[in-house]
Amino acid sequence: MRLGTEEVLELEHLLESKKLVKCLLSYARCKPSDHEVLFQMLTIFTVRSIVDYSFLKQFYAQEVANGYRLADRKAMIVTMINKCKDKDVPQALKVQALQLVVIPTLTSAFSRGGQGEELLDDKTINTIVKDLLDPGDEILSKYDEALHIELLQLATLLIRHLKSQLISHRKELIKFAWDRLKRDETTSKQWAYVNVCRFIEAYDAPHKIILQVYVALLRAFQPEQRPLQKQALDILTPALPKRLPPQEHKYPIWIRYTKKIIVEEGHSLPHLIHIWHFLVRHADLFYSSRAQFVPQMVNSLNRIGFANSSSVENRKLAIDLADLVMTWDKRRIEAKPAESSDKVLPEASDQMQVDVAVKEEDKKREAPDDKEGQEDGGPTKKAKTETGAVATSTPAPATPTAATTPAAAAAAAADDDYQPNATMIEMVCVCPCVFAYLFAYAIRVSSMLNFYHVCTHTYAHAFSHARSLLLTQAHTRTHKRTHINAH
C-alpha cells in the first residue's frame, strides 16, 4: 500500500522500503543458504517506484551470480525454478526471478567453463523443460509476453551450452519456440527466432523449416526488430552451409533465395539496406557466389550513400559495400598470383591446338586406304557394345575434345573467376568524387570522426587497389601481344 501512494508520502516514509530491503540484504549476505529471502526481495521490482533499487540488482548480478559458492548457487537455482513452476506465484515475480537471478547466474557459470553443467543436473533440466517450457497448452496460454521472453532466453542459453544434455528434449524445445513464432507479439516473436536459430545451429532440422526461418528473417526489416533479427541471422547463417548443402545445384538454395529476395524487394530501400548489412557481416560465406550479388551492390551505391537525404549509417554502408567489392576482387587476384606471367593465352592456345588437329586429320584422309588398314588393323574398327552387338566405328580425333575442355572448365568456374567489369571498377575504385563527397559530409559532422577515419582508409585502399588492377591489366595485355607476335 505504501508503494502505491509514493507521490503523497514524505521523504522519511518514502525511504522506509529501501531501508527494509537493505536490512534483508545484510541478512542475505550473512546467511547465503536462505534462498527464500533472495526470492522475496524480488517483490520490490514488481511495482513501479521512484526510489532507486539498483543496489539490489548489483547484488544479484555480482555477489549472487559470481560470489556464491557452487553448492549455494545450485540450491538457489533449484529454489527459483520451483518457485517459477508454482501456479500461486505471480507471473511478474517469476519474470524477475528469471531475469535477475537464474539467467545471470547460469550465464556467469557457463562463461567459466564447466560450472554450468555442475549447476544443472538432469533432474533440474527435466524440471525446466517439463514444468516451464512444456507444462501443457492450458498453462502456456496463460503466460504473458514478459514471461515468454524470459523462458525463451533461458531455453536459448541452455541449447547453446548444454546441447548434448538436451537431445532427448528436442521436441519440447522446438515446440515451445515454434508456437511463439505464430503469435503477434513482436518482441517475443523475435526472441523465438533467436531460439529457433540456436536450435538449428545445435541440431539437425528439416530443410523446409530452416529455409522458412531464413527467408522470414531476410524479409523482416522493421527498425524496432533489428537487434534481435541481427542476432538471429548471425547465429543461423554460419550453420547454413552444413544444414543446406548445394547438392546437385551449383549454388545452395539459401544463396538462391537471397538473390531472389534482393530482386523482389530491391525497390524497398530499408529492405535492401537490411540485406546488405547482413551480407557485409558474412562476406566470406558469399565469396564463392559473389557474381550473383556484385552487380546489385554496385548499382545500389547511388541509392544508399550518395543521395542528399542519406543518413550517416547508410553512407557508411555504401563505403562498406565498395570495400567489400574491392576485397573480394583482391582475394581473387591473390588466389592466382602467377596467372598473369605463367598462364598461356587460352584463345591462342586453343586455336593452335585446333589447327594442328585439322592438319593431322587432313593427312590421315589423304593417306592410302591400305596404309590406314595396316595401321589400324583393317578399314574399320569393330567394338563390342555392352549389349553384345558388334558395332563399327572410326577413331575420333582427340584434339577437338581437348580443345573444348578448357571452355567447359571455364564455364564451370565462371563464378570463381568472376571479376567486376570496367564500369564497376570505375564506379567503386577510380571515381574520386564519390569518396570526396563522403569526405565533405563527414568533415561537416564534427561528431563523426570515426566515420572520417573509415572514409580515409577506404579512399586510400580504393586508389591502391585501382592502381594494382590497372597495372595487372596492362601487364596481361602486353603479355598477350608478345605471345601472339611470337606465334
174, pLDDT greater than 80: yes
Give the model's confidence band at 164: pLDDT under 50 very low, under 70 low, under 90 confident, else very high.
very high
Q: What is the pTM of this model?
A: 0.73
| Residue-level pLDDT at 224 | 80
- Contact criterion met (CB below 8 Å) for 298 and 420: yes
Pull the grid cell for residue 26: 545484510
Q: Specify burial of residue 283 (Cβ count, 10 A radius: 0-12, 13-18, 19+).
A: middle
Whether the CA torsion 102, 103, 106, 109 is positive or negative: it is negative
Name the residue with higher pLDDT: 459 or 169.
Answer: 169
Is-contact 115 70, C-beta < 8 A? yes
349 band by pLDDT with thresholds 50, 70 and 90: very low
Q: Where is average pLDDT lowest: 41-50, 66-75, 219-228, 469-478?
A: 469-478
Phi/psi at 382 (nearest 5 deg)? -110, 125
Lowest mean pLDDT among 7-21, 104-118, 131-145, 301-315: 7-21
pLDDT score of 409? 41
Using the predicted structure, report yes or no on whether residue 312 has a pLDDT greater than 70.
yes
In the predicted model, is pLDDT for residue 474 greater than 90?
no
pLDDT band at 336 (very low <50, low <70, confident <90, very high): confident
Please indicate whether residue 374 or residue 139 has the higher confidence score (pLDDT): 139
Split at pLDDT 50, 70, 90, the class of 384 is very low
- The Cα–Cα gap between 167 and 465 comes to 50
Q: What is the 3-state secondary structure (H, E, C) of the chain?
A: CCHHHHHHCCHHHHCHHHHHHHHHHHHHHHCCCCHHHHHHHHHHHHCCCCCCCHHHHHHHHHHHHHHCCHHHHHHHHHHHHHHHCCCCCCHHHHHHHHHHHHHHHHHHHHHCCCHHHHHCCHHHHHHHHHHHHCCCHHHHCCCCHHHHHHHHHHHHHHHHHCCCCCHHHHHHHHHHHHHHHCCCCHHHHHHHHHHHHHHHHHCCCCHHHHHHHHHHHHHCCCHHHHHHHHHHHHHHHHHHHHHCCCCCCCCCHHHHHHHHHHHHHCCCHHHHHHHHHHHHHCHHHHHHHHHHCHHHHHHCHHHHHCCCCCCHHHHHHHHHHHHHHHHHHHHHHHHCCCHHHHCCCHHHHHHHHHHHHHHHHHHHHHCCHHHHHHHHCCCCEEEECCCCCEEEECCCCHHHHHHHHHHHHHHHCCCCCCCCCHHHHHHHHHCHHHHHHHHHHHHHCCCCHHHHHHHHHHHHHHHHHHHHHHHHHHHHHHHHHHHHHHC
Q: How far apart are CA 311 and CA 184, in angstroms?
A: 31
What domains are defined for the chain?
3-243 (1.25.10), 245-361+414-487 (no CATH)
CB 191 within 8 A of CB 180: yes
Taking the mean position of all CA atoms in its chain, how far away is CA 297?
Answer: 18
Residues whose CB is less than 8 angstroms from the CB of residue 35 and which lie 6 or more positions away in sequence, other chains included: 75, 76, 79, 80
pLDDT number for residue 114: 73
User: What does the pLDDT look like over 393-432, one tens digit per residue?
Assistant: 333 333 333 333 343 344 345 555 566 665 565 555 544 3
Highest mean pLDDT (candidates 7-21, 174-188, 198-212, 295-309): 198-212
Q: Quick one: CA torsion of 349, 355, 360, 366, rounded to 10 degrees?
A: 180
Check residue 468 and give its pLDDT: 60
Residue 165 has pLDDT above 80, yes or no: yes
β pairing state of 390-393 and 381-384: antiparallel
Residues 460, 323: Cα–Cα separation, whole Å? 11
Give the model's confidence band at 7: pLDDT under 50 very low, under 70 low, under 90 confident, else very high: low
Q: What is the pLDDT of residues 22-52, one digit of tens each?
A: 999 999 999 999 999 999 999 999 988 888 8
